[in-house]
């Protein structure tokens, strides 16, 4: 299952009043785990940077002056996102800015339905607790030591770790949290998805070598006729013999 964790930095809070994106960070996930595929760019917003926004991310007019416009990266971004589900912290905000940029280019907008909002996910799992990224990182003991300012790529990297924990952690299938506790916390089946771990070629070979040490009547080889016989019938037949 492919997902993309995405974050943006902007010149302000509302794209409908002329504010623009200045940074995009996106990370590919396969089965909720980050791969080495990343999309990252700074953007010239074609407008001035308000002091309030500069205080949040530290991206100045001078730094952004020679960066590409959104139109120059739109195709690469769309290709990276593909049709993957988008994991976003406060999805309506970032998607609102992205869709405003796509509208300017006459391109198709993205639906909020394809987004997994980690703010909503955290509030369902921890009702009444702070759901901002810093608070969730502290809850899950994720290192924040180099996050003096906001940054789209850095925040996407942190969110990828938070998202894995919100989905049940690195070993969700071994969780000791009861189904009743999950119901009380508002965690649905869709929020609790175990990862499927595929064995490697070496692991499969080692397993076959181990199985081969036993009589086929006790532990039949895969694909053999005996494999289709229920264990209790094999035991009964062996006892009768």
pLDDT band at 177 (very low <50, low <70, confident <90, very high): very low
pLDDT in tens, 57-96: 999 999 999 999 999 999 999 999 999 999 999 999 999 9
In the chain, where the domains are located? 2-191, 201-240
Cβ atoms 173, 197 nearer than 8 A = no
pLDDT in tens, 186-207: 455 555 555 556 777 878 888 8
Whether the CA torsion 207, 213, 214, 216 is positive or negative: it is: positive
Catalytic residue among 32, 57, 150, 207: 150
Q: How far apart are CA 45 and CA 11, in angstroms?
A: 8
pLDDT in tens, 3-16: 999 999 999 999 99
Beta bridge partners of 88: 117
Fold (topology level) of 2-191: Nucleotidyltransferase; domain 5 (3.30.420)
Q: Is 150 a catalytic residue?
A: yes
Please give the pLDDT value at position 196.
56
Cα angle 159-134-69, degrees, rounded to a multiple of 5:
55
Q: Which residue has the higher pLDDT, 161 or 208?
A: 161
What average pLDDT does range 218-236 have in this prediction? 53
Please give the pLDDT value at position 185.
44
pLDDT band at 184 (very low <50, low <70, confident <90, very high): very low
Q: Which residue has the higher pLDDT, 221 or 10?
A: 10
């Amino acid at each position: 299952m492919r997902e993309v964790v995405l974050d943006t930095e902007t010149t302000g809070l509302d794209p409908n009043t002329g504010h623009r994106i200045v940074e995009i960070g996106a990370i590919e996930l396969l089965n909720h785990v980050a791969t080495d595929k990343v999309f990252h760019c700074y953007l010239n917003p074609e407008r001035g940077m308000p002091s309030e926004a500069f205080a949040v991310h530290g991206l100045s007019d001078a730094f952004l002056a020679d960066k590409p416009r959104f139109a120059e990266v739109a195709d690469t971004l769309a290709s990276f996102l593909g049709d993957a589900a988008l994991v976003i912290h406060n999805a309506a905000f970032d998607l609102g800015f992205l869709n405003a940029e796509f509208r300017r280019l006459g391109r198709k907008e993205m639906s909020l339905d394809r987004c997994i909002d980690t703010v909503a996910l955290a509030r369902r799992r921890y009702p009444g607790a702070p759901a901002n990224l810093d608070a969730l990182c502290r809850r899950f003991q994720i290192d924040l030591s180099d996050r003096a300012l906001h940054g789209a790529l850095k925040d996407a990297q942190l969110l990828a770790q938070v998202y894995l924990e919100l989905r049940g952690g690195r070993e969700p299938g071994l969780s000791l949290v009861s189904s009743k506790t999950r119901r009380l916390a508002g965690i649905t089946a869709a929020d609790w998805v175990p990862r499927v771990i595929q064995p490697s070629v070496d692991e499969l070979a080692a397993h076959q070598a181990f199985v081969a040490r036993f009589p086929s009547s006790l532990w039949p080889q895969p694909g053999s006729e005996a494999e289709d016989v229920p264990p209790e019938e094999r035991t009964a037949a062996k006892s009768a013999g």
